[in-house]
């Protein structure tokens, strides 16, 4: 049911784990199935230099976390905010319909991490 | 890589000797069993032999056995058929919260048609209390339907006790014995049931064929209308090869039940013990003792079932899960919720069900691989980290 690309990112996920002193952290939950995704980012000069994730979820959720963290690295915050779940899903060669909501989780987690970073910037 | 198949509650392989017996009914003895010419008569005779084989295994009369297309049809027929035929007496049915969807969705359908259903609760082990069934009985109760053994957690229900209560109160009693045949002793007299569903592909027979036991004198509306097959109670040209396969499979299943149960349970117990000892924060689901011999259902904290199944599949091991992510509907298993598991624990459930061909080597391989997979997934889990397990 999953593409080879999804299975590749599922069985060899990139960027698992957390970051020491992250610039921003975003944690979101999936209301539909109860899964959770947490993304850590490091930001230097408005560019995401590193990203890590932790996911409690299905194969699609793990694969999209992996792909999304790969894709935001090296991007400006604005570019990263424009990274939709559709783009991430396409990069994975597609997902089964009932798994599309899992990819939304990755998009939301990145947005949350950037919002957290901007929040911290303001207060410092 | 050799595949290790541990999803036998979903379906089993077909026994070679069963498949062999079926073959000639496709190619040689293919006549319509309703016909007068000899190939039809031979098919008819073979069907009646299979009916006797089923009757012997269940301890009933051959005339009380009706062939169907499987467990789902048998459940539908028993419940709708009894409800319709007895509507003059009342429209109340008693069932449990952990039945198979073939029962639950049939009951939901009847509720829309004006029937009332009481679902008795189960305890933390998935066990129905017969006294709850007794107190749910009303003047207008026409049917009790409680499964013999649960397909997810394997809990074996006190069917004989419920049967006594049903008989005392003169209420029809149906049991879905789909998981029970071949695994535990099944005897309709012992159990005190009026209706019993079974399905061949759970005991090394073919898919697409099952049977319903209907006690003599029980009123039941047919579900299938048409020809006069199955003494006018279930129309449709008989699935002759399937029925032959079912007959052969149930005969062997009954013969080997005791020996198989002991051997399979020993392997299962060994796997269970190893998992509980070597993987922290794992919970055993289902009854610790009164459980199907081949069933092992666990919840692994902090991880999600579909991811676990995929990892196991990559390691050549096939299992199943009650996780929301595997369900399509995105709801976790109703059985796991009914035994009181919170969503996130139900989410990390894994069901492994053994067959009579499961080997010691296969079990050893699962014992070796599973802890590594669990550790890997836990290291990815934000929940694991929250509970202060230090990982980076
Ligand atoms: S995260 Fe639950 S279905 Fe994908």
B219-273 per-position pLDDT tens digit: 999 999 999 999 999 999 999 999 999 999 999 999 999 999 999 999 999 999 9
B314 contacts in A (CB within 8 Å)?
11
| Eight-class DSSP state of B15 | P
| B392 at A interface, C-beta within 8 A | yes
Alpha helix (H) residue ranges in B59-198: 71-85, 101-112, 130-136, 159-168, 188-191
Alpha helix (H) residue ranges in B137-283: 159-168, 188-191, 240-278
What pLDDT is recorded for position A63? 96
B174-204 per-position pLDDT tens digit: 999 999 999 999 999 999 999 999 999 999 9
CA angle B30, B35, B38 (to 5 degrees): 65
Ligand 1 atom closest to residue B325's alpha carbon, by position in its atom list: 3
What pLDDT is recorded for position B355? 97
Confidence grade of residue B391 (pLDDT, cut at 50, 70, 90): low
Min distance B322 CA to chain A CA atoms (Å): 12
What pLDDT is recorded for position B34? 86
| A26 at B interface, C-beta within 8 A | no
Q: In the predicted model, is pLDDT for residue B390 greater than 70?
A: no
Count of beta carbons in the 10 Å neighbourhood of residue B210: 29
- Mutation target among A34, A60, A97 for the B interface, most CBs of B within 10 A: A34
Mean per-residue pLDDT over chain B, rounded: 95
Q: Which of A72, A83, A102, A109 is catalytic?
A: A102
Decide: residue A30, CB within 10 A, 0-12 exposed, 13-18 middle, 19+ buried.
Answer: buried
CA distance B62 to B51: 6
Q: What token pair was written down for B48?
A: 């009646």
Given the cut 0.90, state whether the ipTM is greater than it.
Answer: yes
CA angle A112, A115, A116 (to 5 degrees): 85
CA dihedral B246, B252, B258, B259 (to 10 degrees): -130
Percent of chain B with pLDDT over 70: 98
B36-62 per-position pLDDT tens digit: 888 888 899 999 999 999 999 999 999
Which residue on chain B is closest to A102 by alpha carbon?
A: B325
Regarding the beta carbon of A62 and ligand 1, being less than 6 Å apart is answered: no
Q: In the predicted model, is pLDDT for residue B310 greater than 80?
A: yes
A32-36, B213-217, B254-258, B285-289 — which is least confidently predicted? A32-36
CA distance B166 to B109: 23
Q: Bridge partners of B349?
A: B299
Residue with more model confidence, B30 or B202: B202
Cα–Cα distance list, B155 to B100, B159, B173, B178, B180 (Å):
13, 12, 19, 13, 10
| B140 at A interface, C-beta within 8 A | no
What pLDDT is recorded for position A35? 86
Closest CA to B285 of B371, B345, B344: B345
A23-79 per-position pLDDT tens digit: 999 999 876 677 899 999 999 999 999 999 999 999 999 999 999 999 999 999 999
Q: What token pair was written down for B330?
A: 């995105």
B306–A16 CB contact, under 8 Å: no
Whole-number Å distance, alpha carbon B285 to ligand 1 midpoint, is 22
Query: Dihedrals φ, ψ of A98, to 5°?
Result: -70, -5
A58–B344 CB contact, under 8 Å: no
Determine the 3-state secondary structure of B137 from DSSP.
Answer: coil
What pLDDT is recorded for position B385? 75
B304–A57 CB contact, under 8 Å: yes
Which residue on chain A is closest to B391 by alpha carbon?
A: A17
Query: Among this protein's residues, is A33 annotated catalytic?
Result: yes
Closest CA to B283 of B337, B212, B346, B325: B346
Query: Dihedrals φ, ψ of A76, to 5°?
Result: -75, 165
Q: What token pair was written down for B316?
A: 């050549």
Nearest by CB: B325 against A10, A11, A58:
A58
What pLDDT is recorded for position B128? 98
A94-118 per-position pLDDT tens digit: 999 989 888 999 999 999 999 999 9
Q: In the predicted model, is pLDDT for residue B388 greater than 70?
A: no
Percent of chain B with pLDDT over 90: 89
What pLDDT is recorded for position A98? 87
B379–A36 CB contact, under 8 Å: no
What pLDDT is recorded for position B330? 74
């Amino acid at each position: 049911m999953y593409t080879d690309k999804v299975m590749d990112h599922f069985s060899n996920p990139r960027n698992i784990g957390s970051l020491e002193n992250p610039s921003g952290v975003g944690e979101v939950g999936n209301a539909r199935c109860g899964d959770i995704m947490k993304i850590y980012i490091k930001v230097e000069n408005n560019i995401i230099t590193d990203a890590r994730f932790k996911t409690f979820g299905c194969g699609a959720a793990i694969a999209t976390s992996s792909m999304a963290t790969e894709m935001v690295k090296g991007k400006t915050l604005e570019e990263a905010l424009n990274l939709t779940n559709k783009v991430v899903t396409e990069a994975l060669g597609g997902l089964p319909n009932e798994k599309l909501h899992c990819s939304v989780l990755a998009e939301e987690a990145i947005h949350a991490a950037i919002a957290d970073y901007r929040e911290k910037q303001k207060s410092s | 890589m050799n595949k290790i198949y541990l999803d036998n509650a979903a379906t089993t392989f077909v026994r070679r000797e069963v498949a062999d017996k079926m073959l000639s009914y496709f190619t040689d003895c293919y006549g319509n069993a309703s016909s007068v010419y000899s190939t039809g008569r031979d098919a008819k005779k073979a069907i009646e032999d299979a009916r006797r084989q089923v009757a012997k295994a269940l301890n009933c009369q051959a005339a009380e056995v009706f062939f169907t297309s499987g467990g789902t049809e048998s459940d539908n027929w028993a419940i709708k058929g009894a409800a319709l035929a007895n509507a003059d007496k009342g429209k109340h049915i008693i069932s449990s919260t952990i039945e198979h969807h073939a029962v639950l969705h049939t009951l939901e359908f009847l509720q829309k048609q004006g029937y009332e259903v009481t679902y008795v609760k189960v305890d933390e082990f998935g066990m129905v209390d017969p006294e709850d069934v007794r107190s749910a009985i009303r003047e207008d109760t026409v049917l009790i339907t409680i499964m013999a053994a649960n397909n997810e957690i394997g809990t074996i229900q006190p069917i004989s006790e419920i049967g006594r209560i049903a008989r005392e109160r003169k209420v029809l009693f149906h049991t879905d014995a789909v998981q029970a045949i071949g695994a535990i002793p099944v005897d309709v007299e012992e159990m005190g049931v009026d209706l019993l569903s079974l399905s061949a592909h759970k005991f090394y027979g073919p898919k697409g064929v099952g049977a319903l036991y209907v006690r003599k004198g029980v009123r039941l509306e047919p579900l299938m209308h048409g020809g006069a097959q199955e003494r006018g109670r279930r129309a449709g040209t008989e699935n002759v090869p399937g029925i032959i396969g079912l007959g052969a499979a149930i005969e062997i299943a009954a013969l080997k039940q005791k020996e198989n149960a002991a051997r399979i349970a020993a392997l299962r117990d060994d796997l269970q013990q190893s998992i509980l000892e070597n993987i922290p924060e794992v919970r055993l689901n289902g009854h610790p003792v009164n459980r199907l011999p081949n069933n092992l259902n666990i919840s692994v904290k902090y991880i999600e079932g579909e991811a676990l199944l995929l990892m196991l599949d990559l390691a050549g091991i096939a299992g199943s899960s009650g996780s929301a992510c595997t369900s399509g509907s995105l709801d976790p298993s109703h059985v796991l919720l009914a035994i009181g598991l919170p969503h996130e624990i139900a989410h990390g459930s894994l069901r492994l069900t053994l067959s009579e061909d499961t080997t010691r080597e296969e079990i050893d391989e699962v014992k070796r691989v599973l802890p590594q997979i669990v550790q890997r997934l836990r290291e990815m889990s934000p929940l694991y980290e929250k509970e202060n397990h230090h990982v980076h």
